[in-house]
Structure 1
Amino acid sequence: METRLVPYETLSLVQKQQLDTLQVHPEQLAYSGDIYCALNSLLVNPNPGAIKGFALLADDLPVAFLLLKRPPCLPHWADEHSATLHALQVDRHQQGRGFGKACLQALPAAALEAWPQIKGLELSVDADNVAAMGLYLRTGWVDSGEAYKGRIGYERRLALVF
């Protein structure tokens, strides 16, 4: 099965409709949100170019989605020379097949194509989200050692420097 991470705006109408059906497990909603919230933040953003959406296609079928943000949409904890990862979601029917890992492996090239000036990627992950934390660390992200009080509990900051 061939996978590729593509910008949201390059999806066909059918692929966008398929993406609208993406669902995460209910227990993951607190961490990643749902596809409607992610697409809403992408499509109603008043700062064009500050938020970009990407879909992971598996044989042309959208199986995952994520957002990247740049100034002025960066969170307070992020370095201005980075892009931040948000709302990484793998469809619940497709989980366990390596699609989250495929997203993270393809992400640096996609981010640099979108914003050649960035020096790396950053994210914030709930410390209790063991599965996500393990995935990020296994794919080369580095824990900054800093934690802060987030929406749910304490969150860790991770970075991937280019």
Structure 2
Amino acid sequence: METRLVPYETLSTAQKQQLDGLEVHPDQLAYSGDIYCALNSLLVNPNPGIKGFALLADDTPVAFLLLKRPPCLPHWADEHSATLHALQVDRHQQGRGFGKACMRALPDAAKQAWPQIEALELSVDTNNVAAMGLYLGAGWADSGEAYKGRIGYERRLSWVFNAR
């Protein structure tokens, strides 16, 4: 099965309709939100500082994520980075390596979107064991800092381009 991470705006109408049906596992909703919230933040008030990407598996959307740049960066992010948000793998497709495929394709997709960025950053709840394992297993570095987040304590992780 071929996978590729593509910008949301390049999806066909049929693929966008399929993406609308992406379902997050109920245990993950608190961390990633649902596809409606993610698409809402992308489409309701379009901003060049937010880009959406879908992971296609043989042309069918199986995952989605958002990247943000100024002026949409969160307060904790470095201005020379892009931040990862709302990573969602369809609950019916989980366990098939699609999260890992997103992580492998993400650096190139981010650099294509914003060639000037120096790093990718994310904030992840320490209780989100699956996400922590995914990110750390993909080579993201933990900053060692924990801070009180929306749900519990969160860790900041980064992927620095010039160090890879």
> Please, what TM-score do these two structures have when normalized by structure 1?
0.98
Q: 1:16-59: CA deviations, max 9, x gaps?
A: 0000000011110000000000000000235x210000000000
- Structure 1 letter corresponding to 2:23: Q
Q: Does 1:6 align with 2:6?
A: yes
Q: 1:81-103: CA deviations, max 9, x gaps?
A: 00000000000000000000000
- Structure 2 letter corresponding to 1:118: I
Partner of 1:85: 84
- Structure 1 letter corresponding to 2:29: L
- Structure 1 runs not aligned, ≥5 long: none
Give SS of 2:106's match. Answer: helix
Q: Aligned equivalents of 2:117 and 2:80: distance in 1? A: 5
Aligned length: 161
Partner of 1:25: 25
Q: Aligned equivalents of 2:121 and 2:45: distance in 1? A: 20
Give SS of 2:38's match. Answer: helix
Query: 1:130, CA displacement in angstroms?
Result: 0.7
Q: Does 1:42 align with 2:75?
A: no
Partner of 2:57: 58
State the identity %: 86
- Structure 2 letter corresponding to 1:74: L
Q: Aligned equivalents of 2:86 and 2:112: distance in 1? A: 20
Partner of 2:111: 112
Give SS of 1:116's match. Answer: coil
Partner of 1:70: 69
How big is the alpha-carbon RMSD for the aligned residues of Structure 1 and Structure 2? 0.6
- Structure 2 runs not aligned, ≥5 long: none
Query: 1:77, CA displacement in angstroms?
Result: 0.2
Q: Aligned equivalents of 1:161 and 1:152: distance in 2? A: 27
> Please, what TM-score do these two structures have when normalized by structure 2?
0.97
Partner of 2:101: 102
